[in-house]
């Protein structure tokens, strides 16, 4: 990984930043896998500090009334479409469930993010030649 191309990721909820287009704020929307199964909801967005771009969705699933939810990160590159309060991704529910759970203590560790990108089969945003997929 090239350190000079890497920037820290921050939780949008922990900043005073806002999305340029409020209609792109997908927090709270339901997430569905490529087979149409509900995975959970968008619990948060992790933003690249240097470019102010959303890089990961934080997905919350399970629990009761928001308590005890399992949280996992999914690269925004996995989004295939968005419609009427729904976010659709190109992975299966089982694939997402098999990823490493989100750990706020490791949120700035490049190795953690690189592992997630590798797991999902995407190039990290800091890698040479990375090109973001379309906006949802």
pLDDT digits (tens, 9 = 90+) for 89-113: 999 999 999 998 887 776 557 888 8
The rounded distance, in Å, linking the Cα atoms of 59 and 70 is: 8
φ/ψ region of 123 (left if φ > 0, alpha if ψ in -120 to 50, else beta) reads beta
Domain locations in the chain as residue ranges:
3-120
Q: pTM (2 decimals)?
A: 0.85
120, two tokens: 């999902």
Residue 26 reports pLDDT greater than 90? yes
Distance of CA 110 to the CA centre of its chain: 15
Residue 4 reports pLDDT greater than 60? no
User: 3-120 belongs to which CATH class?
Assistant: alpha beta
Residue 65 reports pLDDT greater than 70? no
Contact 1, 127 (CB under 8 A): yes
Residue 2 reports pLDDT greater than 90? no
H/E element, 70: strand 70-75
The rounded distance, in Å, linking the Cα atoms of 126 and 124 is: 5
Contact 62, 69 (CB under 8 A): yes
């Amino acid at each position: 990984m090239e350190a000079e191309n890497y920037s820290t990721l921050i939780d949008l909820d922990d900043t005073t930043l806002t999305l340029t287009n409020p209609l792109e704020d997908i927090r709270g929307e339901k997430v569905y896998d490529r087979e149409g199964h509900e995975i959970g909801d968008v619990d948060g967005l992790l933003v690249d500090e240097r470019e102010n771009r959303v890089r990961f969705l934080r997905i919350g699933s399970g629990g009761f009334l928001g308590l005890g939810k399992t949280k996992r990160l999914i690269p925004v590159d996995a989004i295939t479409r968005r419609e009427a309060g729904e976010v659709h991704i190109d992975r299966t529910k089982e694939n997402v469930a098999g990823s490493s759970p989100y750990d706020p203590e490791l949120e700035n560790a490049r190795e953690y993010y690189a592992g997630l990108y590798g797991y999902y089969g995407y190039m990290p945003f800091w890698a040479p030649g990375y090109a973001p997929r379309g906006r949802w």
